[in-house]
A and B are shown apart, each in its own frame.
Chain A
């Protein structure tokens, strides 16, 4: 790093994930290799092609939200607020002692308040009977559902942030992009502390229906616990999930001065577009490979420095092939030596949130020198021939993690986390 360049570190982590509310429970679930995919319970899924999802057992009141907050906030906003509180508590940062204009918020979300919008539409349209929907049945906070910048607003209020605040919404890479965005805000000098992460709660009939329509989600309804099978030859679609992860990001010198716990440095980040198709991927993975190369260059690392890849690994036929090609293209022979895993095998695909949740797993992999496994990987696919850490977590010296995401709209993102206390490069 050249003199005067600002570095960004993770000093607090909060996670709300299926099967593991709280970062500690989340990490236990991952390293146990357990899955949290089940038959959908939020509504009767029987009319749908895919009837499986990874739901969060979430009691908003138990997590300290008031009845009015619960009424006001979409489930995804509730996740964001609870998870941000956990991250801030974990960081030991005392708000009120900082310049509020130097603290900001970046929250990622792919589909915003889609669950509330679905429910509210059903009511104001009387189950679709009214084309001119009846405003007298609308909930008072409907505008907060219309424009999901309300998610960032809710988090800013909780932590007392008055600096740069926004929502980043780039589909399934939103979580990586939100953390990347916040990192750039600190690097640029516009803030010293950013509360950054992502949330989504998409398990609603409209979302399940729209993925049914393009057969993106798995129809493996008879084996819900083993339905998410990234990199396995029998994979046939992703499993919808929900959740949130939020980080406290700080400028490195300030974090070190206050003696903060340093989980990892956000050393590099890049996003590129495939400019190919809104939902399709070319098999060669070239734009993801480009994002990886740019992120490594930004981190001033060589490809052989990568110790672990936290994959997008959604479990669709085309994604896992695309991604495998991208790793080979960007890392060369090293791609065959580095462990790669997909935690979507255990907690499903929570759209915009998952990128942040996967970064949490990446930071915890560095903290514990353990890489989480890819569950349900029993049948190797000749087209996916890397080391995907099947079934069992692995003790593994992990100083540098590459985490990638790929999403509708063609977005391909990559972030590099490094051990923060490994000395100046």
Chain B
């Protein structure tokens, strides 16, 4: 037998990673056109949970995706073996590939990989099988449990659906993972892989997932959607979780140009990540450093940043850390700050990729989407965008933080057309 000899040389250091396709599954809209219209209009999709009766729980609001029927998009063979988060991810991937004008069958199999983030895997699927196990016995556990709930499921299923045999991966860093995955995708592009499907979709709005989420003690327990999730407002009292996220087509810029990509939304220009010191260490939190590292990586000066998409924890202490990091780098009210996730809730690992999509659409359309809800930076020294703001957006910075101390920051840059 002969050895496989398709290993490619490491690409020149000049390889740049650009984003050429967006697939969005958000509570405010399925597909990026619907999501973007709703986002600019400041429409919010936060309401009382409908998936189960939340009356017995302290937290009762969520950002649910109401109009998704998996069977409209996926084969009946796939439905019983996939959790909702995988169904949403598969459909988002289809949309992202279509948006990018990529037919995976036309590309060499090892030229495409899949790197996604996950926070809790197919948790609802896992819940149902745990229930079967404990109420009926081990022989009632589904044959699909072994792969339907684990964190790697979306990367695996996407690679299978599209015949993508290049480097794939899965990262888990809570909400920060959504950026970490795209940074890992960019690394593969720099190493010479032409195309990586990246981003993340999470969905665990089921009783077991809900109880586990509440244990973070960061969920808002208010019932009024207008007052429940108020980042950068001294009246903040936690966040509202949601479901969904975004899948992005990350591509080598030259590859995109060669195949005549219909649109290049922007470049993944820089990334920085840090981890907060152990509580009680006396050292400062790491977010400011992560912002500085991302700017340095992008070779972008703070003054060049046109908008910051904030993590927007909705917890006073965490908002303060973020506001201080932003003002220390950009100055007092020195940059537009927005948190469109106030309309969707926090989507775990899906949240940051959705923010990347919003930032790229801001670059495309020259408009910054609004933060819905908080009084204008009440108590914080931030220029918080409260209504959609026309602006020339060439550089956007996206912040994502994960429970436990994960700080990730990504810089996106417009690409001249």
**Nearest Cβ distance between residue A96 and chain B, in whole angstroms?**
11
A127-160 interface code vs B (CB 8 A; 1 in, 0 out): 1110111110011111111111110110011001
Q: A273-B164, A277-B160, A408-B147 are in contact. Are A149 and B404 (CB under 8 A)?
A: yes
B141, A209: Cβ atoms under 8 Å? yes
- Which of the 9-residue segments B131-139, B223-231, B367-375 touches chain A? B131-139
Q: Which residue of A lies closest to B82 (CB)?
A: A278
Give Cα A139–Cα B204 distance, bound, in whole angstroms: 18
What residues of B have a CB within 8 angstroms of the CB of A22 in the complex? none
Q: Which positions 59-87 of chain B face chain A at CB distance < 8 Å? A: 81
B114, A273: Cβ atoms under 8 Å? yes
Q: A142-B211, A169-B170 are in contact. Are A297 and B130 (CB under 8 A)?
A: no
**Nearest Cβ distance between residue A175 and chain B, in whole angstroms?**
13
Give Cα A214–Cα B143 distance, bound, in whole angstroms: 6
B130, A125: Cβ atoms under 8 Å? yes
Give Cα A89–Cα B210 distance, bound, in whole angstroms: 40
Q: Which of B7, B10, B135, B281 has the most C-beta atoms of chain A within 10 angstroms of its own C-beta?
A: B7
Q: Does A165 contact B (CB under 8 A)?
A: yes
A184, B145: Cβ atoms under 8 Å? no
Give Cα A214–Cα B148 distance, bound, in whole angstroms: 13
Q: Which positions 268-283 of chain B face chain A at CB distance < 8 Å? A: 273-278, 281, 283
Across the interface, B130 reaches (CB within 8 A) one of A128, A160, A276, namely A128
A133, B208: Cβ atoms under 8 Å? yes
**Nearest Cβ distance between residue A3 and chain B, in whole angstroms?**
14
B134, A152: Cβ atoms under 8 Å? no
**Nearest Cβ distance between residue A198 and chain B, in whole angstroms?**
12
What residues of B have a CB within 8 angstroms of the CB of A290 in the complex? 4, 6-7, 110, 165
Q: Which positions 141-183 of chain B face chain A at CB distance < 8 Å? A: 141-143, 145-147, 150-153, 155-157, 159-160, 162-174, 176-177, 180
B215, A142: Cβ atoms under 8 Å? yes
Q: Does B209 contact A (CB under 8 A)?
A: yes
Q: A141-B215, A149-B406 are in contact. Are A171 and B143 (CB under 8 A)?
A: no
Q: A100-B277, A171-B152, A409-B156 are in contact. Are A272 and B165 (CB under 8 A)?
A: yes
- Which of the 9-residue segments A23-31, A110-118, A254-262, A370-378 touches chain B? A110-118
- Which of the 9-residue segments B26-34, B49-57, B254-262 touches chain A? B49-57
- Which of the 9-residue segments B118-126, B323-331, B351-359 touches chain A? B118-126
A133, B207: Cβ atoms under 8 Å? yes
B145, A209: Cβ atoms under 8 Å? yes
Q: A112-B151, A166-B172, A276-B160 are in contact. Are A286 and B212 (CB under 8 A)?
A: no
Size class of the contact patch on chain A: 35 or more
Give Cα A290–Cα B58 distance, bound, in whole angstroms: 52
Q: Does A329 contact B (CB under 8 A)?
A: yes
Across the interface, A274 reaches (CB within 8 A) one of B126, B155, B165, namely B165
What residues of A have a CB within 8 angstroms of the CB of B180 in the complex? 166
Q: Does B365 contact A (CB under 8 A)?
A: no
Q: Which residue of B lies closest to A290 (CB)?
A: B4
Q: A101-B289, A146-B123, A166-B177 are in contact. Are A206 and B215 (CB under 8 A)?
A: no
Q: Does A289 contact B (CB under 8 A)?
A: yes
What residues of B have a CB within 8 angstroms of the CB of A162 in the complex? 274-277, 283, 286, 289
Across the interface, A214 reaches (CB within 8 A) one of B53, B146, B216, B403, namely B146
Give Cα A161–Cα B278 distance, bound, in whole angstroms: 9
Q: A169-B170, A210-B145, A275-B162 are in contact. Are A128 and B212 (CB under 8 A)?
A: no
A287, B7: Cβ atoms under 8 Å? no
Q: Does B334 contact A (CB under 8 A)?
A: no
B146, A279: Cβ atoms under 8 Å? yes
**Nearest Cβ distance between residue B89 and chain A, in whole angstroms?**
13
A118, B130: Cβ atoms under 8 Å? yes
Q: A101-B286, A143-B213, A166-B171 are in contact. Are A279 and B145 (CB under 8 A)?
A: no
Residues of A at the B interface (CB closer than 8 Å) are 47-48, 100-101, 104-105, 110-112, 117-118, 121-122, 124-125, 127-129, 131-135, 138-150, 152-153, 156-157, 160-171, 174, 177, 181, 184, 188, 190, 205-206, 208-214, 216, 270-279, 286-287, 289-290, 293-294, 296-298, 303, 328-332, 407-411
10 pairs, A vs B, C-beta closer than 8 Å: A128-B132, A147-B119, A156-B278, A166-B180, A272-B167, A275-B162, A303-B3, A330-B3, A409-B150, A410-B156
Residues of B at the A interface (CB closer than 8 Å) are 1-7, 10, 52-53, 56-58, 81, 109-110, 113-114, 118-121, 123, 126-127, 129-139, 141-143, 145-147, 150-153, 155-157, 159-160, 162-174, 176-177, 180, 184, 187, 204, 207-216, 273-278, 281, 283, 286, 289, 293, 348, 402-406
